Structure 1
Amino acid sequence: MSKKSFLLLITTVSALGGLLFGYDTGVINGAQFYLSKYFTLSDGMKGWVVSSALMGCLFGAIAAGPLSIKLGRKHSLIISAILFSISAYGSGLPEIFPQTISTLVFFRILGGLGIGIASMNAPMYIAEIAPSHIRGKMVTYYQLAIVIGFFIVFLATYAIGNNLSESENIRIGWRRMFWSELIPSALFLILLFFVPKSPRWLVLKGNDSEAKTILSKIHNDDEASKELQNIKESLKKENVKVKTNYLSKAIISIIAIGTLLSVLQQFTGINAVLYYGADIFEKALGFGKEDILAQQILLAFVNLVFTLVAMYTVDKNGRKPLLYIGSAGMVLGFLLLGISLQQESVGIISLLGVLIFIGSFALSMGPVVWVLLSEMFPNKIRSFAMSIAVAAQWAANAFVSQTFPVVMGSDINNGSPWHGSLPYFIFIAFILVIVFVTYKYIPETKGKSLEEIEDFWKKS
């Protein structure tokens, strides 16, 4: 197998964690309509069942750091794949078992733990094994996999639900929707046994010879030796035998910047649009409930196309330019949607605004944040720092997802002068903060080794 094929293979396998992330996020949207009737859920309980996985994501991201340090990136991903599989089966327990709301929530939280662990370890693993000149593109495979998973699950749930009557969907359809995740989760689990361990983790654990062997499968011999030496020198500079002071000003500053960027990804409003896109389209364009699938597929298609664009530009144009361009596009998209709502003149401009926002996010904050988080932290604290940043992102996701419908339904938002547009102007304000944070604090990491990026922080 060629070095290029080997790198593509292990990147693709790792990125399957992202596909399961997107799939699991989407499957509950398709299943909840029928399981809500099966369990006769109140609105409050429906919200808890739908959002319970986010709590698992939060704690999974927190646990991912210690797991990654102790067991390594590869074995952490294996644990996440096992949790995915258990969650997929348990969420749709066969009728012969007494499925209750409590057991359903328990298995959803297990799946969330798997997502939280994978969302930190998968992009970090890819970043640590990819050559610097294509690292951005390789890490973007993770975001692409999320988008593909989100797209596939809409088709899968539609195919399952469309072939059953409503009574059958209420009885078994939603179970099959959850079980459909067993296919990608089992594939992820099996293939993970064929990928190598992270060379940087191996060096951290003192296993230089195995690290050199893995690096030689990706680089030529001279480059592999140089890469190994760079890793060793980086860890030597950090003096790994001395206990890390995570409360030092330098480390707190680096983690704070990464965490802020991670949180701001959610405060763009992306998940408000993805989770509540059908409601937005219904109000803006008068679409009926029967058009929900078409709306979801349209959003997912635009998301997919612009994620592909980001993949092939992130290493050529750099991380910061994409953040600037994407932020401008997100502001434009929400201005079109917000003003059309404010002026009570909804129509094609409103739709265009939503699609411009989705495309701009997919070009920038979607993939680039994962790229930056996977490469901006020094070797010694990468696992700990990423777990903090990713956990904060899941907390922000939960906060935005819970508060968006509250703001949407408020009297202030629905009265003059907002007429339903207030949330989008709030999101615009946060997007402008992203521009400032990017300009002031985020380093350009294009083409730099992880060790060179580490030197940047020391000079700052």
Structure 2
Amino acid sequence: MSKKGLLILITMVAALGGLLFGYDTGIINGTQFYFSKYFELSDFMKGWVVSSALIGCFVGAIGAGTISNALGRKVTLIISALLFTVSAAGSGLPSFLPESVTLLVIFRLIGGLGIGLASMAAPTYIAEISPKDKRGVLVSFYQLAIVTGFFVVFLATYFIGNGNTEAENVSTGWRWMFWSELIPCLLFLGLTFFIPKSPRWLVQKGMEEAAMVVLNKLHSKEVAQKEIDEIKASLAKERKTQLTGTSVLQKSVLPIIIIGSILSLLQQFTGINAVLYYGGDIFEKALGYGQEDVLAQQILLGAVNFLFTFVAMFTVDKLGRKPLIIIGSFGMLLGFILLGGTLYADAVGIVSLIGVLLFIGSFAMSMGPVTWVLLSEMFPNKIRSVAMSIAVAVQWAGNALVTFSFPVIAGSETNLDGFWNRSLPYFIFSVFIIFIIIFTQKYLFETKGKSLEEVEGIWEEKYGEIE
């Protein structure tokens, strides 16, 4: 196999963590429509059950930096695969054990821990094995895997649920939907044992020869030697600062972490997961679709999400990160204006559906993949693991807030019976999308074509050397 082919293959294996991220979070869309009726959940309890996994994501992301530094990116991915497997197997257990929504929440929390670990370790690992001119597209494989997971799980829930009556899906169908995740879980668990360890982590642990072996397998000798020299130079500076310690409150560090965390948070405040998690409710309650169409509409969402991710993959290293975010943000804004406007005017129809799909497609080509690309490359080497953990944890906290609050706001009297006529959530999200455009223009710089060490140098020019 060629070096390029091997690099892509290893990237795809690591990106399976993203596929399970998408599958595990997307499965809640197809199942919550039915288990909410099974457990007779209120809007408040529905928000709690759906968002419970995100608490695990938050905790997993917080601990991911420490685990990843101590055990390595590869071992962290293996641990996440084990957690995914336990969660998938256990989420359907209420069919054999006493019926309790608490049991479902516990296994969702375990799955959340796996997502939290993978969401930090996978893009970091991919960024650390990638040459700088291909890093954008290779890290985008992670986002492609996420949306592939969403699309595949929507197909799985459709084929599992479409052959059943609604009563059968409420009784047992949603359990089989959860169990379908075991297939990609076991695939990910098995394949992660065969990928190499991160060369940056190996050098950090004093195993330079092992790192050189990995880099020589993936790159030409010239590129491999340049990579190892840059890693060693960066780590030499890092070890020097370790004598006094690097604080996240340091004036040259804190602004970088704040910028990355805000970017991460804004990805969630677009409302993407409100649409992906509660797509069934949106189509049935807000857009008036019949229950028999709900699963089919979710496939449409997943297909658009999947296809438009390729737009980002083929343009992120050509157009750059900032242009994609700005173009996509205008598309997301227009999509929610169409959806919110038709709801407000009580004119729901094809324009409303176009608005939803325009929002999904615009997110998929911008804030979806580009946020992960920027997070994987924007943090200086000496703080990367800690900063990435903080930014990803903030993202999961934002995800939990949006996921928990959306059904409460959508089901409130203010939204349903008052001035807003079911449109309030989408206009709230629109305000945050406008803020994304402003924030991107003012605080983000273009990282296209720059090595991780060059990015670090730009930050040091802005805020001073990290001590």
TM-score (norm 1): 0.95
1:155 CA displacement: 1.6
**Cross-structure match for 1:32:** 32
Contact 2:49-2:105 at 8 Å conserved across structures: yes
SS of aligned partner of 1:237: helix
SS of aligned partner of 2:407: helix
C-alpha distance in 2, partners of 1:104/1:114? 16
- 1:425 equivalent among 419, 427, 431: 427
Q: Deviations over 1:123-144 (max 9, x none)?
A: 1111111111111111111111
1:419 CA displacement: 2.6
**Cross-structure match for 2:180:** 180
1:246 CA displacement: 2.2
**Cross-structure match for 2:361:** 359
C-alpha distance in 1, partners of 2:33/2:438? 41
SS of aligned partner of 2:266: helix
C-alpha distance in 1, partners of 2:46/2:419? 32
Contact 2:74-2:196 at 8 Å conserved across structures: yes
C-alpha distance in 2, partners of 1:158/1:72? 38
C-alpha distance in 1, partners of 2:206/2:241? 11
> Which residues of 2 match residues 235-274 of structure 1 at below 5 A?
235-238=235-238, 239=240, 241-242=242-243, 243-274=245-276
1:319 paired to 2:289: no
Range that drifts further, 21-30 or 207-216: 21-30
SS of aligned partner of 1:317: coil
1:205 CA displacement: 1.4
C-alpha distance in 1, partners of 2:451/2:122? 18
> Which residues of 2 match residues 352-391 of structure 1 at below 5 A?
352-391=354-393
Shift of the 250–407 alpha-carbon distance from structure 1 to 2, 3 Å rule, reads same
1:158 CA displacement: 2.4
1:284 CA displacement: 5.2
C-alpha distance in 2, partners of 1:164/1:339? 36
**Cross-structure match for 1:307:** 309
C-alpha distance in 1, partners of 2:355/2:112? 31
> Which residues of 2 match residues 7-22 of structure 1 at below 5 A?
7-22=7-22
Q: Deviations over 1:405-448 (max 9, x none)?
A: 33333344345653332322222221121112111111211111
1:382 CA displacement: 0.7
1:236 CA displacement: 1.6
SS of aligned partner of 1:217: helix
Shift of the 237–51 alpha-carbon distance from structure 1 to 2, 3 Å rule, reads same
Q: Which amino acid aligns with 2:9?
A: L
**Cross-structure match for 1:114:** 114
Q: Which amino acid aligns with 1:202?
A: L
Unpaired runs of at least 5, structure 1 = none
**Cross-structure match for 2:80:** 80
C-alpha distance in 1, partners of 2:378/2:253? 12
**Cross-structure match for 2:63:** 63
- 2:407 equivalent among 389, 405, 408: 405
Contact 2:331-2:359 at 8 Å conserved across structures: yes
Equivalent pairs counted in the alignment come to: 460
SS of aligned partner of 1:14: helix
TM-score (norm 2): 0.93
**Cross-structure match for 2:455:** 453
Shift of the 325–166 alpha-carbon distance from structure 1 to 2, 3 Å rule, reads closer
Shift of the 332–89 alpha-carbon distance from structure 1 to 2, 3 Å rule, reads same
Shift of the 47–420 alpha-carbon distance from structure 1 to 2, 3 Å rule, reads closer
Q: Which amino acid aligns with 2:211?
A: A
Identity of aligned residues (%): 66
C-alpha distance in 2, partners of 1:278/1:173? 15
C-alpha distance in 2, partners of 1:323/1:264? 11
Contact 1:284-1:347 at 8 Å conserved across structures: no
Shift of the 44–349 alpha-carbon distance from structure 1 to 2, 3 Å rule, reads closer
**Cross-structure match for 2:151:** 151
Contact 2:29-2:276 at 8 Å conserved across structures: no
Q: Deviations over 1:29-81 (max 9, x none)?
A: 33334444555555544433322111111111111111111111110000000
Contact 1:61-1:390 at 8 Å conserved across structures: yes
Shift of the 280–94 alpha-carbon distance from structure 1 to 2, 3 Å rule, reads closer
1:105 CA displacement: 1.8
Q: Deviations over 1:161-203 (max 9, x none)?
A: 3345556545543332222111101110110011011111111
Q: Which amino acid aligns with 1:287?
A: Y
1:212 CA displacement: 1.0
**Cross-structure match for 2:465:** none
The alignment yields a C-alpha RMSD, in angstroms, of 1.9
